[in-house]
Amino acid sequence: MHLLITGGAGFIGSHVVRRFLRAHPGCRVTNLDSLTYAGNLANLRDLEDDPRYRFVRGDITDAAFVGKLFSENDFRGVVHLAAESHVDRSIADPTAFVMTNVIGTVNLLDAARRAWEGNMEGRRFYHVSTDEVYGTLEDGGGMFTESTPYDPHSPYSASKASSDHFVRAYHDTYGLPVVISNCSNNYGSHQFPEKLIPLFINNIRTGRELPIYGGGENVRDWLWVEDHARAIDLIYHEGKNGETYNIGGHNEWRNIDLVRLLCRIMDRKLERAEGESETLMRFVTDRAGHDLRYAIDASKLKHELGWEPSITFEEGLEKTVEWYLANGEWLEGVTSGAYQNYYEAHYGGR
Ligand code: NAD
Ligand code: DAU
C-alpha cells in the first residue's frame, strides 16, 4: 500500500506518518510537504532511515507539480493534512489560507481523479478537517454532530469549510472515493509553539507572559494527537466512502481553567513554588471573531468503528509537558529558526 500523506512535517501529520508506518508493516508513505514555517523535518527524524518512508518537498498549490507526482506514482490513497492551520495568522493574512487550504486541496482532488479514473476500486482520498467549520456553540448548549450546518467565522475555518465542500463535490460529481473527518483541538508533542498549549509551556519555561485572549472564557474540546492519528488510521481503513466522522475528546475546558492546570503542572515539574507560573498570566485584547465554544459529539465514530480516546486530559497534558521539557532542543530549534536549516543539512542535493 503506497500512501501519499500531505503535511507530514507538521504537528498532526508527523504523528499520522508515524502511526501508519508503525501500525502497517506493508505500508509505504510518501510525505509531501512544502516546509512552510510550520513544517519541521526534525519531527520525523526517527523515520528517516526507514526504507518505506520518503520525503518530497513540494507545494500543493502547484497543480502541474501535483499532477506529475500522481502520474509518476501509483498511490493507493491520500491522507491530506497540509494546510495553513493557525487562526490568528488567517486573520492577518487570509490569502495564504485560500491558496493552500482551498486551491491546494482542489489540486490534489483533481490529480487523484485523473490518476484514478476508471480504477477507483480500493482507493481513498481522506481529507483531514476541523470542528471549526461548524461555527460556535453557546456556553453549555449542545455539541457539533456530523449534520450540524456549516457556519465558519474565521478566514481559517471558512477556507477549511470550502475545502470540505470541494471534497464532497468530487465524490458526488466524479465518484471519487472520499472520507472526511472533523476533529477538535489537538495537543501533544511536536506542536508549533504558536498554539495555546506549546506556546504557554515555552513561555512558562522561559519566564515570559501568558497572553490570555479576552476573559479566558472560551471553551475548547481537547484531544491527544496520538488518539487523533489512531482515529485517522481507523477511518482510513474502515470508514465508508462519502461519509464524515467527527473526532473529539469529550473533554471541554475553559481556557482559563486549562491555563491554571498547566501552570500547576509546570510548577511541579520545574520544582517552582506553587502559584509561581500563574503570576505570568495576562488578560489581553480578544481575538477578532473569537468562537466561544467548540464541543464534538463523536458518538458516530464510537458506535460505528469502536474508537474512543485512550487517555484522560490530565494524563495527556502531563505527558505533553514532560515531552517539551525533555526536548528543550526541539523548542529552541523552532524558536531560533534553526529548524529551517534541517532540510538542506539532511536532504541537500537529494
Ligand atoms: P501544522 O500547521 O502543524 O502543519 C501543516 C503542515 O502543512 C506543515 O508541515 C506545512 O509545511 C504543510 N504545508 C502548508 N502549506 C503547504 C503547501 N502549500 N504545500 C505543501 N505543504 C504545506 O498543522 P496541524 O495542526 O498539524 O494540522 C494538520 C491538519 O489538521 C490541517 O489540515 C488542520 O486544518 C487539521 N486540524 C488541526 C487541528 C489542530 O488542533 N491542530 C484540529 C483539527 C484539524
Ligand atoms: O478546533 C480545532 C482547531 O484548533 C484547529 O482546526 C486549528 O488548526 C487549531 O489551531 C486550533 O484552533 P484554536 O484557535 O482553537 O487554537 P489555538 O491554540 O490558537 O487557541 C486555543 C484557544 O486559546 C482559543 O480560544 C484562543 C486562545 N488563545 C490562543 C493563543 C495562541 C489565547 O488565549 N492566547 C493565545 O496566545
- CA dihedral sign of residues 41, 47, 48, 52: negative
Q: Across 20-177, where does the E strand assignment appear?
A: 28-33, 53-57, 77-80, 124-130
Q: Name the residue with the closest Cα to ligand 1, atom 32.
A: 81
Distance (Å) of CA 209 to CA 61, 212, 326 = 37, 9, 21
Q: Name the residue with the closest Cα to ligand 1, atom 15.
A: 83
18, 36, 340, best to mutate for ligand 1 pocket (most atoms within 8 Å of CB):
36
Looking at all shown ligands, the one closest to residue 227's CA atom is 1
Helices (H) and strands (E) in the chain, counts: 13, 12
Alpha-carbon span 314 to 333, nearest angstrom: 27
- Which residues have CB under 6 Å of ligand 2? 85-87, 130-132, 184-185, 195-196, 199, 211-213, 218, 220, 255, 287, 294
Domains and CATH numbers, the chain: 2-186+224-250+294-311 (3.40.50.720)
Alpha-carbon span 108 to 101, nearest angstrom: 11
pLDDT tens by residue, the chain, 350 residues: 999 999 999 999 999 999 999 999 999 999 999 999 999 999 999 999 999 999 999 999 999 999 999 999 999 999 999 999 999 999 999 999 999 999 999 999 999 999 999 999 999 999 999 999 999 999 988 999 999 999 999 999 999 999 999 999 999 999 999 999 999 999 999 999 999 999 999 999 999 999 999 999 999 999 999 999 999 999 999 999 999 999 999 999 999 999 999 999 999 999 999 999 999 999 999 999 999 999 999 999 999 999 999 999 999 999 999 999 999 999 999 999 999 998 888 887 55
Encode burial over 102-117: b for 16+ CB neighbours within 10 A, e otherwise.
bbbbbbbbbbbbebbe
Which atom of ligand 2 lies at the shortest distance from residue 294's CA? 1
Alpha-carbon span 274 to 260, nearest angstrom: 11
Alpha-carbon span 89 to 194, nearest angstrom: 10
Looking at all shown ligands, the one closest to residue 33's CA atom is 1
Q: How close is the Cα of 8 to the center of ligand 1, in Å? A: 8
